Amino acid sequence: MTKIIAISNQKGGVGKTTTTITLGAGLVQQGKKVLLIDFDPQGNMTSALGVKEPDELTNTISYLMDQELKSQPILMKDTILKHNEGMDFIPCNINLASIDAKLVNTFSREKVLKRVLSRVKNKYDYILIDCLPTINLLNINALTAATDVIIPVQAEHLSIMGLRSLLDSVKRVKRELNRKLNIEGIVITMTDNRTNLSKIVEKTIRDNLGNSIHIFAESIPRSVRVAESSLAGCSVVQTDPHGKATKAYQSIVMEVLMNEEKSIRKLHEKYRDR
């Protein structure tokens, strides 16, 4: 069973792209087969994985979506790139913005990405989707294709304002399109233990949301090594293997793997008791 995780928050700059890449690298370290999807027309993930000019690419997720929309044959393998840390990825660029408009008049318009991913998902244990910071049809496509959602929230004043609309669309997608969609949890990002404000904000997030949504035990500290790694075209797991941000992300990977084991066990029990 492939776990497809949408990394989503309608705010930009909260750590979606970083979380997608770093969790992906961490899962590969644990022996998992991983595909990362850049699903933001800004193409930040594509750049951060070392592609110099994302806008020059023709084989991107937009190409796959477009072919699917036109019911044209799809050559997946030319679009899946290999990163030297072991994860595969599908790049993205500005062309994805035009797909949003094309989706409007399409039959089953929320399920186009799901149909694209159904062609490759058997090859992977995990597919992570780096979502764009807007709640539109593209984001709904990501939530419809996903089995789970991880929400990065920056440890910053007012960070939970606006989360409501993301949680509402998750609820709506769950009700109407993807009954089994599960919120895997919130990752608190860019904490700074030297400041009281950061601690207060983290506590506020845990107190306000912790009762209704799982919040990963470790939060991700701010570290200059994270920004440096994306300049180097790889994850912080590679550039700073013993660093604090790497350790925190690795602990989240372990939680994700534990949750997976738990749900497999539950499934076994369900069938055994039948």
Question: What residues make contact with ligand ADP under the rule CB under 6 A?
Answer: 12-18, 44, 189-190, 220, 222-223, 226-227, 230, 245
- For the CB of residue 159, give the shortest distance to Mg ion in the complex, in Å: 16
Pick 190 or 205: Cβ nearer ligand ADP: 190
Residue of 159, 154, 244, 157 whose CA lies nearest to 200: 157
Site for Mg ion in 75-104 (CB under 5 A): none
Binding site partner of 94, from Mg ion, ligand ADP, none, Cβ cut-off 5-8 A by kind: none
Pick 95 or 189: Cβ nearer ligand ADP: 189
Q: What's the gap between Cα 69 and its chain centre?
A: 23
60: three-class secondary structure by DSSP: coil
Binding site partner of 47, from Mg ion, ligand ADP, none, Cβ cut-off 5-8 A by kind: none
Helix (H) or strand (E) holding 23: helix 16-29
Pick 135 or 177: Cβ nearer ligand ADP: 135
Pick 66 or 156: Cβ nearer ligand ADP: 156
Binding site partner of 245, from ligand ADP, Mg ion, none, Cβ cut-off 5-8 A by kind: ligand ADP
Q: How far apart are CA 117 and CA 128, in angstroms?
A: 11
Binding site partner of 222, from Mg ion, ligand ADP, none, Cβ cut-off 5-8 A by kind: ligand ADP
Give the residue closest to Mg ion by C-beta. Answer: 17
Q: What's the gap between Cα 144 and its chain centre?
A: 13
Pick 52 or 272: Cβ nearer ligand ADP: 52
With CB under 5 A as the contact rule, the residue among 16, 83, 111, 121 that binds Mg ion is 16
Q: How far apart are CA 25 and CA 58, in angstroms?
A: 25
Greatest alpha-carbon pair distance for the chain in Å reads 56
Residues paired with residue 151 on neighbouring β-strands, in sequence order:
186
Is 17 an interacting residue with respect to Mg ion (CB under 5 A)?
A: yes
Which of these segments, 37-45, 89-97, 157-165, 232-240, binds Mg ion (CB under 5 A)? 37-45
- For the CB of residue 16, give the shortest distance to ligand ADP in the complex, in Å: 3
Q: How far apart are CA 80 and CA 7, in angstroms?
A: 19
Q: What angle do CA 197, 201, 204 make, to 5 degrees?
A: 140
Contact call for residues 139 and 130 (beta carbons, < 8 A): no
- For the CB of residue 13, give the shortest distance to ligand ADP in the complex, in Å: 4
Binding site partner of 220, from ligand ADP, Mg ion, none, Cβ cut-off 5-8 A by kind: ligand ADP
Radius of gyration for the alpha carbons in the chain, expressed in angstroms and rounded: 18
The dihedral built from the CA positions of residue 97, 98, 101 and 106, taken in this order, carries a sign that is negative
| Both structure tokens of 259 | 């949750």
Which residue shows structure tokens 């044959």?
Answer: 73
- For the CB of residue 220, give the shortest distance to ligand ADP in the complex, in Å: 5
- For the CB of residue 110, give the shortest distance to ligand ADP in the complex, in Å: 23
Q: How far apart are CA 64 and CA 50, in angstroms?
A: 21
Interface ranges with Mg ion (CB under 5 A): 16-17, 44
